[in-house]
Structures are given as structure tokens and as C-alpha cells.
């Protein structure tokens, strides 16, 4: 990638102010295959200044003009879709087919949904003689994670553009190349200079400078709860809007009337998708006490059916976790589960047999997990499932809600009305009934320490809008 050592600022690829560089590591081999420039607060100042200048004119464009721009972005994105899939597969370690169909494909789905949203969105409405007008919030900072990188970039940057905002993106330094490719897509689509700017760097340097910058009006952040707390503190002195999608520890309640063979197998596979590196992964499987052993046997078979290996192998169903830091964290938490008395029924510590290099984790299932255990409370972000027995429906709901997180929850039942009743009692931003298809039009975000605000569709668009009332506007 020719622009890997530059930043995209004010419509041009520019040299960074500093000299620091960071290697991009292939998780399958533990070897560097590229490097990117690392930014400084001076680079952030330059990017924010470009966004601030551009806001004066871009904020005055019409919704129709911005919708046309989103359509052009989709056209160019589709032209480079396969390149995007290959890039994410290499830097994240995701199996190639999954990287194309989902990691890259989800970007297209968000753009499709945003176009549908903008076509019908009520930018203005009358309330008596008052005109209620939706206007762009201003200059926004976008700080995105490594696990679903283009998903989070597109579901922030695209609605921000549609709203009339200008922005500075700091993507994860772990998976930065897809963001550089996205900048090239926006440039080719004709996004005006200064509307979109990109500076690579780490959180403590570049992310902190963005969150605290006095000319940034809003921060949209996806990442850990710990980092989200720090960003909120940095943003507080300037009272900027802070929109956060943070951690999760999602419960998957299997009610006693469900087909266990199908429901347990699907739950294991959903937990292990993307090597377990999804904030809304169903990592706590709650099963009736009387059927615990049955669920464990099914989960063991489902885990052992996975093929862990390099991203470019056709038979691979699960790649590595993303980095040495993540590998060590997952291994430490597996060890904690063992030390606290949970029963390992599949996987465990160490790499899978025959994989001596690469950040590969064994697909791991724990049984007889108690709600107080570390593996039942901390977000592991790896292919680790905790099976937890419950006494009755009320007990299952209590266990599910007994978490500092509230991003997502799952309910499986042969009785759809029963599943619906349980869903209304769960303290989570999204509840998925009987493993539905992914929905780009559903609001996404969490309760409690899983964040605030919502993304996707009209909720994602509204996140970047201010509401103005012009009183006495007239008939």
C-alpha cells in the first residue's frame, strides 16, 4: 500500500510530523508484513484544523447532495471490495472467506442501509409554528477498534458524512491498513478536502489528543470499557458529546423447550466466530440444571469440529487472535478459569497441536461455571465459552443481568412468545431471538458499562445530528 507511511489530511496524502513507525504483524505467522507511520498531537492539530475549515461549507450542503456522495462511496467500495477482504484477512488473521463475506461485506451492508435511511429521513418537521431542524453536530473524532475494523469505520464515517459533519479518524494501530484503503475509497469517490481526515497512532498519544481537542465537537469511540472511561474524562472539560460502544459479556439463555442439539451447536459457533473477538459474542451459555451435561457434550463436539489454522487455508474455520497481547490475555483468563474450579471440556491452555507459531488459541469450553468466576464476569475476547446452569426462568434472567455489561443477550426457545417475554426482562441493548439473521437496520449499542448511544441506520445518523428549534417560524 503506497500510502502506508502517510496520513490523509485535507484531501491529500501528507508526511507525518514525526518519524515513529509501527510494524503491522500477521497474526498467523507473528511476522511483520508492513509498517505504518505513527502520529503525534501536531498531526492531530493539523487534521482537526482541516476538518474545522471544511465544516463551514460542507455543513451547508443539502441532504440530497450528501446522499449522492454516499452512493458514490458505495460504488467505489464495491470496486475495491475484494482488496478490502484480503487486507483485513491478512492484518486480522480472519479466514479469507469470512473476511470477504463479512469483514468486508458488512461495510457494503452498512452503506446500503444508510442509503435507505437517508432516502426517507425527516430532516425537518413542523410542530405548530416551530420548525424542528436536524443539523450536523460539527467536527467529530472517530476512534475505532481492530476486531471488526471496517464495520466500525463505515458505521461511523458514513453517517457522519451523511449528516454533514467533518471528521478525523484514528483507526486501531493493530489493523490500520483497511482504514488507509478506506481513505483511498473516499478520495476516489470525491469526498471534499477536509471532510475526512485520517491519522494513525496509538490511543495514549493520538486518541487522547483527539478526545481532548477543543475544536472537536463529538467523540465516537468503540473499544474497551477501560479506554472509554479515559476518553470520557478527556472530553469532559469541553463538554463535547461522547458516543461509546464498549465491552460485553453476553448471556445466551437456552430455555428448556429448545432443540438442544441445534441451539447449543449454533451458540458455540456464534461465540467462536471471528475467533471470539466480538463485543456481542454469546460467551455465557445458560442452560437448565437438568440438561447441563447434555449441553456440555454437544458443546464439546461443536468445539472440536472447528479447524484452527492460517487465514488462507481453505479448511480453516477459526484463525488466530489478533496479537501477542491478546493471546496472552486469553491464555491468562483460561488459566483463571482452571484455577477457580471451572471444568475444561474442550480446548484449554496452549496452542492447538501442530501450530507452534501464530497467535492460535484452542477453542475452549468450560462447564459448571459459577456467576462469580472471572471467566463469567470479564470480557475475554477469545474463543472461550462458559456454560452456566440455572434453576428456572427467573434464575436464568437474574444470572444474565448480573453483569456490569449490557451490550447484547440471546434467547432460544421453541415458543416465540416465551422468548419475547424473556427478552423484555433482559438489561441489554440488543436481544437476539433464536439466532436471527444480522440486521443492519437494528439499533446497536449497550446498557450499563457497555456504553451509551446507538449505531446503525437512523440511530447512527441521529448520533451525528443536533436538533434546532426555530420558534415562530410560521405556517
Q: Contact, 133 vs 468, CB < 8 A?
A: yes
Q: Which helix (H) or strand (E) holds 210?
A: helix 208-212
Task: Give the torsion sign (CA, 306, 310, 315, 319).
Answer: positive
From the list 91, 245, 331, 455, the catalytic residue is 245
The three-state secondary structure class of 230 is helix
**Grid cell 470525491 — which residue?**
190
HSE-up of residue 371 (Cα within 13 Å, Cβ side)? 16
Strand partners, 219: 141, 242
Q: How far apart are CA 413 and CA 260, in angstroms?
A: 10
- Per DSSP, the residues of 76-140 read HHHHTHHHHHHHHHHHH---HHHIIIIIIHHHHHHHHHHHHHHHH--SEEEETTEEEEEEE--EE
Q: Is 279 a catalytic residue?
A: yes
Q: Contact, 83 vs 174, CB < 8 A?
A: no
From the list 155, 165, 279, 455, the catalytic residue is 279
Q: Contact, 67 vs 152, CB < 8 A?
A: no
Q: How far apart are CA 260 and CA 267, in angstroms?
A: 10
Q: Is 271 a catalytic residue?
A: no
**Grid cell 491468562 — which residue?**
332
List, by residue number, the catalytic residues: 245, 279
Amino acid at each position: 500500500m503506497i500510502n502506508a507511511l502517510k496520513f490523509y489530511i485535507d484531501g491529500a496524502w501528507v508526511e507525518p510530523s514525526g518519524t515513529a513507525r509501527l510494524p503491522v504483524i500477521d497474526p498467523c505467522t507473528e511476522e511483520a508484513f508492513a509498517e505504518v507511520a505513527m502520529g503525534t498531537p501536531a498531526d492531530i492539530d493539523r487534521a482537526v484544523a482541516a476538518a474545522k475549515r471544511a465544516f463551514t461549507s460542507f455543513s451547508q450542503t443539502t441532504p440530497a447532495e450528501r446522499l449522492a456522495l454516499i452512493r458514490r462511496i458505495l460504488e467505489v467500495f464495491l470496486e475495491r471490495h475484494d482488496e478490502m477482504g484480503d487486507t483485513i484477512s491478512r492484518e486480522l488473521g480472519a479466514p479469507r472467506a469470512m473476511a470477504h463475506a463479512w469483514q468486508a461485506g458488512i461495510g457494503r451492508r452498512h452503506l446500503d442501509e444508510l442509503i435507505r435511511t437517508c432516502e426517507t429521513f425527516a430532516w425537518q418537521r413542523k410542530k405548530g409554528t416551530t420548525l424542528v431542524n436536524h443539523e450536523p453536530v460539527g467536527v467529530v473524532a472517530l476512534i475505532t477498534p481492530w476486531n471488526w475494523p471496517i464495520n466500525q469505520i463505515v458505521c461511523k464515517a458514513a453517517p457522519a458524512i451523511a449528516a454533514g459533519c467533518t471528521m478525523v479518524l484514528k483507526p486501531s494501530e493493530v489493523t490500520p491498513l483497511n482504514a488507509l484503503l478506506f481513505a483511498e475509497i473516499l478520495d476516489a469517490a470525491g469526498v471534499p478536502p477536509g471532510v475526512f481526515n485520517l491519522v494513525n497512532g496509538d490511543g495514549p498519544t493520538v486518541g487522547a489528543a483527539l478526545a481532548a481537542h477543543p475544536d472537536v465537537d463529538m467523540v465516537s469511540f468503540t473499544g474497551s470499557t477501560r479506554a472509554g472511561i479515559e476518553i470520557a474524562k478527556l472530553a469532559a472539560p469541553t463538554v463535547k458529546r461522547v458516543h461509546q460502544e464498549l465491552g460485553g459479556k453476553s448471556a445466551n439463555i437456552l430455555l428448556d423447550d429448545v432443540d438442544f442439539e441445534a441451539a447449543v451447536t449454533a451458540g458455540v459457533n456464534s461465540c467462536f466466530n471471528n475467533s471470539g473477538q466480538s463485543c456481542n459474542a454469546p460467551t455465557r451459555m445458560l442452560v437448565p440444571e437438568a440438561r447441563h451435561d447434555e449441553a456440555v457434550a454437544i458443546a464439546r463436539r461443536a468445539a472440536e469440529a472447528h479447524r484452527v489454522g492460517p487465514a488462507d487455508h481453505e479448511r480453516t474455520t477459526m484463525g488466530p487472535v489478533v496479537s501477542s497481547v491478546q493471546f496472552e490475555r486469553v491464555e491468562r483468563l483460561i488459566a483463571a478459569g482452571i484455577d477457580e474450579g471451572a471444568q475444561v471440556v474442550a480446548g484449554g491452555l496452549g496452542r492447538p497441536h501442530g501450530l507452534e507459531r501464530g497467535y492460535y488459541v484452542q477453542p475452549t469450553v468450560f462447564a459448571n461455571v459459577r456467576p462469580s468466576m472471572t471467566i463469567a464476569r470479564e470480557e475475554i475476547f477469545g474463543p472461550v465459552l462458559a456454560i452456566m446452569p440455572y434453576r428456572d426462568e427467573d434464575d436464568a434472567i437474574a444470572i444474565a443481568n448480573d453483569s456490569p455489561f449490557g451490550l447484547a443477550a440471546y434467547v432460544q426457545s421453541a415458543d416465540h412468545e416465551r422468548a419475547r417475554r424473556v427478552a423484555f426482562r433482559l438489561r441489554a441493548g440488543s436481544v437476539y431471538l433464536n439466532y436471527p439473521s444480522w440486521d443492519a437496520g437494528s439499533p446497536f449499542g449497550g446498557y450499563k458499562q457497555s456504553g451509551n448511544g446507538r449505531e446503525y441506520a437512523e440511530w447512527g445518523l441521529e448520533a451525528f445530528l443536533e436538533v434546532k428549534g426555530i420558534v415562530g417560524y410560521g405556517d
